Amino acid sequence: MRTTVCAVALGVSLAAATAAAQESQFAQYQKMVAEGSPVELFELVGEELWQKKQGPKNASLEQCDLGLGPGRVKGAHARLPRYFKDVDRVMDVETRLLHCMMTLQGRSREDALKRPFGNADKPSEMEYLSAYVAGQSRGYKMSPGMSHPQEQESYALGKKLFYVRTGLWDFSCASCHGEEGKRIRMSELPVLSKPEAARPLMATWPAYRVSNSTFKTMQWRLNNCFRQMRTPEPVFGSETINALNMYLTVTARGATYSGPGTKR
């Protein structure tokens, strides 16, 4: 109790000291793994796929409008999710990439989504593209859309969804990510409703994930959480997935994007 009072009184410096004292036992590991990460290999392949002509229209994605206008990739990831007038809805980066595959390349939704999530032996097109696009936002401040009514709706829905008890085993996102200092086995669980926990996390997704030996996207992360919550499968690019992503990204806003990251 006394430390809490002191921390408030002393402000930043002590707060920093407290954070250091509570540093994860895996901090050194995570730092070294991030320094020696193969993540850039995925950005390289993603850039090739971005420029590759394919689909019925034999077009590349280079004219894809990720929110800054056609063909502007620098800094775009850090401003997503946001409202897109041309489709009158909120989209995160993967939903928008899917949209561009369909509109620019003329591919069907089925074709473009045949394999949204890959594996180590064969990463997916979406994973490579996400790596490239995210890498182009390194150093940019995260500022998802928050002004359009639909963006605010999306945030509000995401926040509600975060606390919905559901699935065969009655979990909500908050069951695991709602309380400080909790673990699943040895995995430390960030309290994602808090900016200080959401920022470092959202600033490093998508990411090379050591457990999968490959690159993974945010939609995969959410999909995989629902799998472990024993629900049916959320639809790729659905309002539910976009809203959860919006809620987490808005909670993390202001962070400097430093991904694509490297995770356990």
Partner 1 sequence: MAGPMKMRATLASGYTDVRVLMSHPMETGQRKGPDGKMIPLHFIQNLTVKVNGKTVVEGQISQAVSRNPVFSFRLKGGAKGDKIEVSWLDNKGETNRTESAVA
Partner 2 sequence: MDDQRRGWLKAAGALGVVLVAGLLKPVAALAATWNKDAFAAKSAADALKSLGAADTAASSDIVIEAPQIAENGAVVPIEVTSKIAGTTSIAVLIEKNPFPLAGKFDFMEGALAFVKLNVKMGETSDVRVVATAGGRNYVATREIKVTIGGCGG
Partner 3 sequence: MMRKWMMGAGIAALVLSPVAFAEPSDREVQEIMKRDFRPKGQAKMDRIEQDAVQKVCTASLNKPPAQLAKKLEADQMETIAYPAGSLMGNWKGGAAIAWSGQGMQWHEDPKKPSGGGCYNCHEMSPARTSFGTIGPSLRGFGKTRGNGIEMQRYAYGKIYNAKAYNLCSEMPRFGHTNSLTEQQIKDLVAYLLDPASPVNQ
Of 82, 246, 81, 92, give the one whose Cα is nearest residue 155. Answer: 246
Which of partner 2, partner 1, partner 3, none sits in contact with 26, Cβ below 5 to 8 A by type? partner 2
- Going residue by residue from 17 to 56, which x/- string records binding to partner 2, judged by CB under 8 A? --------xx-xxx-xx-xx--------------------
Residue whose CB is less far from partner 2, 29 or 163 = 29
30 binds, among partner 2, partner 1, partner 3, none (CB under 5 to 8 A by kind): partner 2
- Do 245 and 223 meet the contact criterion of CB atoms below 8 Å apart? no
* By the rule CB under 8 A, 149 interacts with partner 3: yes
At 69, the amino acid letter reads G
Between 39 and 91, CB nearer to partner 1 = 39
Identity of the amino acid at 142? M
225 is a catalytic site residue: yes
> By CB under 8 A, how many residues form the interface with partner 3?
46
CB of 224 to partner 2, least distance (A): 8
- Residue 139, interface with partner 1 (CB under 8 A)? no
Which one of partner 3, partner 1, partner 2, none is in contact with 149 (Cβ closer than 5 to 8 A by kind)?
A: partner 3
Q: Dihedral sign, CA of 83, 62, 101, 39? A: negative
Cα(188)–Cα(142) distance, integer angstroms: 24
Q: Provide the residue type at 190 as one letter.
A: P
Amino acid at 260: P
Radius of gyration for the chain, computed over Cα atoms and rounded to the nearest angstrom: 19
**Rounded to the nearest whole angstrom, what is the least distance from the CB of residue 181 to partner 2 in the complex?**
16
Given phi > 0 = left and psi -120 to 50 = alpha, else beta, which region is 187?
A: beta
Least CB distance to partner 3 at residue 230 (A)? 5
Catalytic positions, written as ranges = 225
